[in-house]
Amino acid sequence: MKRLGRIAAALALGAVLAAPAMAQEKVTIYSAAPQDLIDNVVPAFEKATKIKVELVKGGSGDLINRLKAEAGRKTADVLFSVSTDVVVANGKLFTKYTPENVKFLADAFKVNDAAVPFTAVATAFGVNTKLLTPAQYPKTWIDLGNPMYKGKISAGRPDKSGSAYIQLALVLQIFGEEKGWEIYTKILDNTVLSNSSGAVSKFVNDGEAFIGLSNEDTLLRYKVGGGPVELLYPADGTSAIADVMALTANPNNAEGGKAFINFMLSKEAQEILDSVGRRPVRGDIATKSALTPLSKLKVVKYDDDWAGANRTRILAKWNDLLLNKK
């Protein structure tokens, strides 16, 4: 009996010692994605790969600052759902990885160094249909500078939100810097700023803002949900910009991070993205989205490289404007 007891004790000790090795694999994702997108794609990835996702959410600016503070430590594996210029401007924080599924990308999309596109999104104006009549809707970026919209526009801070920075850089690219800054300054004077562009659509839906500048998918969610929200695309130009992901320079689980990136380009993930109002980047996805086809919009080519290379200078000037905001 004593011998059997010793054997049982040994087996129990072995089980305890083996437990860490049998622990579920984990990948850490720093994400600026909307919650509904996360709620759909993360469970699908976990089911397909048996890899557990540990998620850290924040605006792109906050997540970049966190990665900088953690430089040299093994923390995040992937930065998910930011604009290409964020990755380009902070190249030392990432490492280049070209996933197998990149071969399915549509011709309009490409891997830009470490930045791997997984969806495309256009900038839109959201209007509260109970607070504005169609005759009062802004049709262009220039319209947003009209004094009638003073205090009625909601937008993210470009130094905190990647999509808000895109809005600023887009105006500068459409009109050229001299005129672009003139137009943007008038818009800024009419705007109440938020730390997150994701909150802007809710402000419009709830009537806290008459107009919101945001990504089309977050506005669409409230519209299809029956909210008093209409989507408008600026007649003087919008952009269909890749939302990207990147493997960090010092990942804790590099293979898990690569698996996540490759999965996001799988047909399964791309169809999920289409179902939540995001534009797929694969060329073989038959979209079922309620979004306006890009062929019906005035889409201008957005220069990611210019936006990334000039990010520090542009944000410094934006901060000066903010200090002198009327």
DSSP string, 44-90: HHHHHH-PEEEEEE--HHHHHHHHHHTTTS---SEEEEEEHHHHHHT
CATH number of 21-120+242-288: 3.40.190.10
Q: What mean pLDDT is predicted for residues 241-259?
A: 95
The band of 15, judged by pLDDT with boundaries at 50, 70 and 90, is very low
The band of 305, judged by pLDDT with boundaries at 50, 70 and 90, is confident
Specify the 3-state DSSP secondary structure of 296: helix
**pLDDT surpassing 70 at residue 195:** yes
Quote the DSSP letter at residue 297.
Answer: S
Pairing of strands 211-215, 191-194: unpaired
**pLDDT surpassing 70 at residue 173:** yes
Answer for the pair 214, 275: CB distance below 8 angstroms, yes or no. Answer: no
Both tokens of 252, joined, read 């804790």
Domains 21-120+242-288 and 121-240+298-323 share a fold: yes
pLDDT at 294: 84
The answer for residues whose C-beta is within 8 angstroms of residue 176's C-beta and 6 or more apart is: none
- Tens-place pLDDT, residues 251-286: 999 999 999 999 999 999 999 999 988 999 998 988
Average pLDDT, the chain: 90
pLDDT at 9: 45
- Tens-place pLDDT, residues 68-94: 999 889 999 999 999 898 998 899 999
User: What is the residue extent of each domain of the chain?
Assistant: 21-120+242-288, 121-240+298-323
CA gap 19, 230 in Å, rounded = 53
Regarding pTM above 0.85, the answer is no
Answer for the pair 153, 230: CB distance below 8 angstroms, yes or no. Answer: no
For 121-240+298-323, which CATH class?
alpha beta
pLDDT at 23: 60
